[in-house]
Structure 1
Amino acid sequence: MKATIERAVLLKSLGHVQSVVERRNTIPILSNVLIEAVEGGGIKLMATDLDLQIVETVEAQVEQAGATTVSAHTLFDIVRKLPEGSQVSLEAAEGKMAVNAGRARFNLSTLPRDDFPVIAEGDLPTVFEIPAATLREIVDKTRFAISTEETRYYLNGIFFHVTDDDQPVLKAAATDGHRLARFTLPRPDGAEGMPDVIIPRKCIAELRKMLDELDGTVEIALSDSKVRFGLGTAVMTSKLIDGTFPDYNRVIPTGNDKLLKIDPRSFEEGVDRVATIATEKTRAVKMALDTDKITLSVTSPENGTASEEVAGQYGSDGFEIGFNARYLLDILGQVQGDAIEVHLADAAAPTLIRENDKASALYVLMPMRV
């Protein structure tokens, strides 16, 4: 194989695929990126960890078609350090690949392309499109609540499912048992009859990186075991989490009768300030609710105490409730509006947070004892 490609194009594409590759691999071929020069121009780059695979096709001048695999992180580091604007020549033969640009010469070891594993997609019967901006919003407003606890592996992703509420909708939900985030949007054409799927955390993280550079729409194709995202010049395929997501609707409170309306920015800044003295063990921030104000306070045995008053509209009986400061900040960081509604019941019941009853995103937070 022999091809020439612009450094910037190669670097961007390698940046997408190499982040799938795990740093420590017991199977040597999984540390590599598959580079395939296609007759008539174009290079295909592919990387996988056996659960997630990214393939990207980029423009290049191909003198001789062919394919090889080479260390993904090494090649990425080399290309990153090559001079800007340079043309990179890739030439593979007899177990080696020469990478040349300007006066720089590299000769890298390769492994045969026939050993490179490819995720077999099988049949993906459900196909629909979502605007890239919408998919970005779905991911941002839910992924912070994904559990990192490996024992409850079925919570290690975002749960996508379709339901018929007042109208057909697609819902995305994530929870770690302490908080829940849910995003609802009208059901896209083609998503009817879609199976319930849990998209793994790593796939969500890689998808989010690539959505930053994308306008237009994303094509999503899925079965009950795999999902494929069409992202412009790249295609990402992932296995789904094989498990059952719990019925999260049971934890969304419907009878919380105490309503606090508050400016999310001043609330977020107040929580952030008082939480400065909180230690890892005592991440709790206490909220004392009173008519038209709340008092935020943190008590830390090591550091002392902090309190701050924040204006808010509240007309029910006063009481105190505690929350994990970081969890509260994660939620407030996703709220864009000028006001949010905090629906409370008592110091031990789940609390519902949303912008209003028309908002696409809804959050549930479990209180802490303080």
Structure 2
Amino acid sequence: MQLTEASRDTVLKPLTTVVGIVERRNTLPILANVLIRKQAEAVEFIANDLEVQITTRSAFGVGDGAQATTVAARKLLDILRALPDASQVKMSLDDNRLTVQAGRSRFALQTMDAADYPLVNQAGQWDASFSMSQKALRELFNQVHFAMAQQDIRHYLNGLLLVLEPGKVRAVATDGHRLAHAGTALDGQTATLDVIIPRKTVHEMQRLLSDDEQSSIQVDVSTSQIRFRFDHIEVISKLIEGKYPDYRRVIPDGYDCHFEVSRETLQAALQRAAILTTDKLRGVRIQLGEHLMRLSASNAENEEAREDIEIDYPHAPLDVAFNVTYLLDVLASLKADTIRWSIQPNTSSSVLITLTGDDEFRYVVMPMRI
């Protein structure tokens, strides 16, 4: 029985959208599959890893009947990618096998029963709902995502804190050595709620969201789930349970020594200095003096790198070291021409990086010993 018929790109686009969360190794073999559901001309592709589920909806079904099956997601993706761009693709389901035809090419794939596919049970009630532009949400995630922990035993750090306040939404991420904070105004948002979004879900949303200010996204939040709906796509994710650290206590507010520096100039200098650091010791030394910022790095082979940057710095001298990766991460994520450093000389305290004209973005990096 024929399921669908459409151009290769028409089928490839929704499949590519969902296949990103499919793991190559799964405890449940069916999770390596994509669920295909057809009702008349409406076709859904669904992928699920038990933590996050992505659904896409298209209109290239054939016939009036309803059909559903699951097939190896990456196999189907590889087949479609290998077909000529202008191919017309037909998919049919017969005797528990999915047949994919395009011109003189024909593939028969084993399937698994759609009834065995573990779909996410959606929350019965959402505690908060709001809409915003896809670009605004993508930029919010982009400004903080790099500070999330990776496989930390403190599981609540392996995600992003989403803070809802009346008229505002904030995003916070920290791995215990650095903290990134960003926020944006939100019309019509009245709820007060804090939730932790898993790292994988954040990265998938960064991949899927567009930079179009005119394209909106609907976000629904409960205490256990978050749902994103946009562009015929639905993403439902579990939330991480746990008590997130009080980010307000980490962000310093008493620093009275500030200077501005070109983001690109500093980024390029740090990239050059990082060449002579090692994987185990990624430290770069920063010395601040009158109108000068000196960056230096060395390694066990007694090799050294040094860069001088002119700055407007009339304050007391400071000699401190930071993980160069932590500094490069934030510089790569920002679009501003100039960044603002705030420090407290004669202490071994953190540095606060902010943006001129953006009171919401704050990035705190703890010093290190080298």
- Asked if Structure 1 and Structure 2 have the same fold, meaning a TM-score greater than 0.5 normalized by the shorter chain, the answer is yes
TM-score normalised to structure 1 length: 0.95
Q: Which amino acid aligns with 1:360?
A: E
Identity of aligned residues (%): 35
Aligned equivalents of 1:349 and 1:132: distance in 2?
37
Matched, 1:150 2:149: no
Give the corresponding residue for 1:42.
42
Partner Cα distance (1:298, 1:159) in 2: 34
Counterpart for residue 135 of structure 2: 133
User: Which residue matches 1:107?
Assistant: 108
CA distance in 2, matches of 1:139, 1:212: 12
Per-residue CA deviation, residues 111-145 of structure 1 (Å, 9 max, x unaligned), is 11111111111222321101011011101101000
Residue 285 of structure 2 is matched in structure 1 by 286
1:354 counterpart = 2:354: yes
- Which residue in 2 is equivalent to 1:264? 263
In 1, the alpha carbon distance for the partners of 2:357 and 2:61 equals: 55
Q: Secondary structure at the match of 1:360?
A: strand
Q: Does 1:52 align with 2:52?
A: yes
Give the residue type in structure 1 aligned to 2:44. Answer: K
Matches within 5 A, 1:209-358: 209-212=207-210, 216-302=215-301, 304-346=303-345, 347-356=347-356, 358=358
3-state SS in 2 of match to 1:60: coil
Report the secondary structure of 2:255's partner residue. Answer: coil
Q: Is the alpha carbon distance of 1:348 and 1:80 closer, same or farther for their aligned partners in structure 2, counting shifts above 3 Å?
A: same
Q: Does 1:203 align with 2:201?
A: yes
SS in 2 for 1:277: coil
Q: TM-score, normalised by structure 2?
A: 0.95
- Preserved contact between residue 134 and residue 211 of structure 2 (Cα < 8 Å): no
Aligned to 2:14: 13
| Letter matched to residue 206 of structure 1 | E
Q: Which stretch shifts more, 319-328 or 294-303?
A: 294-303
Counterpart residue identity of residue 301, structure 1: A
Q: Deviations for 1:80-122, whole angstroms, at most 9, x for unmatched residues?
A: 1111121111111221111111111111111111111111112
Distance 1:338 1:226, change over 3 A: same
Report the CA distance between 1:6 and its aligned residue.
1.8
Q: Give the aligned residue type for 1:143.
A: H
Q: Give the aligned residue type for 1:111.
A: M
Superposed, which structure 2 residues align to 1:186-197 within 5 Å?
A: 186-189=185-188, 191-197=189-195
Q: What is the aligned partner in structure 2 of residue 90 from structure 1?
A: 91
| Amino acid of the structure 2 residue aligned with 1:366 | M
- Distance in 2, matches of 1:159 and 1:341, equals 24
Instruction: Give secondary structure in 2 for the equivalent of 1:54.
Output: strand
> Structure 1 counterpart of 2:223, which letter?
D
Kept after mapping to 2: 8 A contact 1:129/1:217: yes
For residues 177-219 of structure 1, the C-alpha deviation after alignment (integer angstroms, 9 at most, x for no partner) is 1111111111341x32242111111011111111137651111
Preserved CA contact (<8 Å) 1:162 1:187: no
Structure 1 residue 303 displacement after superposition: 5.5
1:334-362 alpha-carbon deviations (Å, 9 max, x no partner): 33333221111145212110113634311
Q: Distance in 1 between matches of 2:72 and 2:154?
A: 33
Query: 1: CA distance between counterparts of 2:18 and 2:129?
Result: 24
Distance 1:281 1:345 in 2: 28
Name the Cα RMSD after superposition. 1.6
| Long gaps (5+) in structure 1 | none
Counterpart Cα distance in 2 of 1:252 and 1:237: 31
- Secondary structure in 1 aligned to 2:327? helix
The residue type equivalent to 2:53 in the other structure is Q
What secondary structure sits across from 1:288 in the alignment? strand
- Take 2:231 and 2:91, find their aligned partners in 1: how far apart are those partners? 24
Name the counterpart of 2:169. 170
111-120 or 59-68, which deviates more? 59-68
Note if 1:62 corresponds to 2:62. yes
